[in-house]
Structure 1
Amino acid sequence: MLSITTDAWDDEVWGAAHPSPTSHPRAQLRFLFGTGDHWVAEETRDDLIRTRALKQDSEADEAWKPKMEVNEEGWPHAFCIRHSIPVAEKVAEYVRDTIRGDKQDVDQQN
């Protein structure tokens, strides 16, 4: 697809390194890419991950960056047709991570 070729989003969309305007921290963006996905060229995907994703060895001041991963199990872009259960399990993992992080934040505040 020709329209998904460059990173045109501004920092506000990326989760922004700026503090949340509310007392609750901003939600972290998550990206799950497929391999051989015809919607996003692999080179574009790899560039996006290299320039925007949270790295495993990132410093604390970069914790706001989105978490990105490439699915290696061969789920197609149209996963909802035949792969909804494994994708739902992956999303449930994301939700559990978010809840765990929120609980840690609350514990640290108390």
Structure 2
Amino acid sequence: MEEMDHLPPHLRKTIFEKLYKVAEYAKLTKEEQKMYDQDLKRKWDNAAVLAQAEETGEARGEARGMRKKAEELARVFKKKGIALDLIAEGTGLSIQEIEKL
């Protein structure tokens, strides 16, 4: 294993790649393993933070889109003379919000 710089093409199958990574890790010194583990943890933490940020961004975008659609509907209904309480009930907007549109 010490003589191999990379995995030969005929061994590039998932199980062999995993074994190769384990062997590479095993030949690291304790200090190198610690540094590797810290780096790997940092990578996982960053990925988790990014995933959470994406979820939050998507949720905010959806909420803004729903809000915008409700306001558009309220404007149309208001122009048609539909009662504000009915518009509020249908769109989820308050009567005050509808009056401002």
Instruction: Report the TM-score, using the length of structure 2 for normalisation.
Output: 0.33
Larger radius of gyration: 2
Name the structure, 1 or 2, with higher relative contact order (CA <8 Å, separation 6+).
1
TM-score, normalised relative to structure 1: 0.31
Structure number with higher helix proportion: 2
More strand by share: 1
